């Protein structure tokens, strides 16, 4: 009954932590493609191929349901995967949906026409590939009208987090927020559109100011997954063991992951 959680690196651990707390009886298999991180500077075809390979590895672990806890993969690969590649017996879900549900205050299955929402000016902080895909803006436009989204590609932030350089990461966050605010001086809400970014949530909030509501994905994804499993229990796979897999060096990744979550994490070679 395991569920797969995939990320290009360590950022998806923020989602894993939240879903594990929300669903303590469900085993989770986490796969980080650390050997190929970061995805945010790769081409769409490259991201698609890497994400498919990782998904197949999680299917082999008995995870019929895989969560792409990576905004870049969700933005650049998920739609194509669902339309052309994922078999009927499996499910692959992304992390945009719970965020847009929260922002628009409507369920994903609500197919009524776009309507006005209370938030009009939204700042989106994401990787260059996520920003280039415009996937978030496209999905939001299906559900909400009159929302101005200003997207800021946050080059370097994921690399700094993966390298454990918190000082550099905080400096880059401040720089990217300043760049966005030159184009949108008064955002009402901010989307942290990368699962690495919750680790820098305090830095984003400080740079944006206390009046800006910052939406982070981990807890939203956890609630959405819990609801999904109630509705579609048949997609909980046959796996029974929780584990951490990486395409990178397990020892190095384990050390960084332990620093990340502040609890001991042991990765195995994928």
Enzyme catalytic residues? 70, 194
Question: What is the spatial distance between Cα 213 and Cα 103, in angstroms, rounded to a whole number?
Answer: 10
- In the chain, what are the helix, strand and coil shares in percent, each to the nearest 5? 50, 15, 35
Angle between helices 13-22 and 218-231 (to 10 degrees): 50
Angle between helix 96-104 and helix 218-231 axes, rounded to 10 deg:
100
Q: Are 140 and 104 in contact (CB under 8 A)?
A: yes
What tokens were used for 54?
């990782």
Q: Are 70 and 11 in contact (CB under 8 A)?
A: yes
**DSSP state letters, 43-111:** -HHHHHHHHHHHHHHHHHTT-SEEEE--HHHHHHTHHHHHHHT--TT-EEE-SHHHHHHHHHTS-TT--
The answer to whether 144 and 136 have CB atoms below 8 angstroms apart is no
Task: Give the Cα separation of 48 and 142 in Å (integer).
Answer: 24
């Amino acid at each position: 009954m395991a569920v797969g959680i995939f990320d290009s690196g360590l950022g998806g651990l923020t989602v894993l932590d939240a879903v594990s707390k929300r669903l303590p009886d469900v085993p989770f298999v986490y796969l980080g493609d650390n050997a190929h991180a970061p995805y945010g500077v790769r081409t769409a075809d490259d991201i698609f191929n890497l994400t498919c390979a990782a998904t197949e590895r999680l299917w082999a672990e008995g995870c019929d349901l895989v969560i792409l806890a990576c905004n870049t993969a969700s933005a650049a690969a998920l739609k194509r995967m669902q339309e052309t590649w994922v078999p009927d017996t499996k499910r692959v879900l992304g992390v945009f949906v719970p965020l847009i549900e929260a922002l628009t205050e409507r369920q994903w299955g609500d197919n009524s026409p776009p309507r006005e929402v209370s938030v009009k000016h939204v700042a989106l902080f994401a990787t260059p590939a996520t920003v280039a895909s415009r996937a978030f803006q496209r999905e939001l436009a299906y559900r909400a009208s009159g929302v101005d989204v200003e997207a800021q590609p946050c080059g370097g932030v994921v690399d700094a987090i993966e390298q454990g350089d918190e000082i550099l990461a905080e400096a880059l966050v401040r720089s990217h927020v300043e760049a966005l605010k030159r184009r949108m001086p008064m955002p009402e809400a901010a989307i942290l559109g990368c699962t690495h970014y919750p680790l820098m949530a305090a830095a984003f909030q400080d740079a944006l100011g206390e009046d800006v509501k910052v939406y982070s994905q981990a807890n939203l994804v956890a609630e959405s997954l819990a609801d999904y499993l109630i509705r579609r229990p048949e997609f909980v796979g046959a796996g029974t063991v929780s584990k951490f897999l990486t395409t990178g060096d397990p020892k190095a990744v384990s050390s960084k992951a332990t620093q990340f979550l502040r609890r001991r994490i042991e990765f195995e070679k994928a």
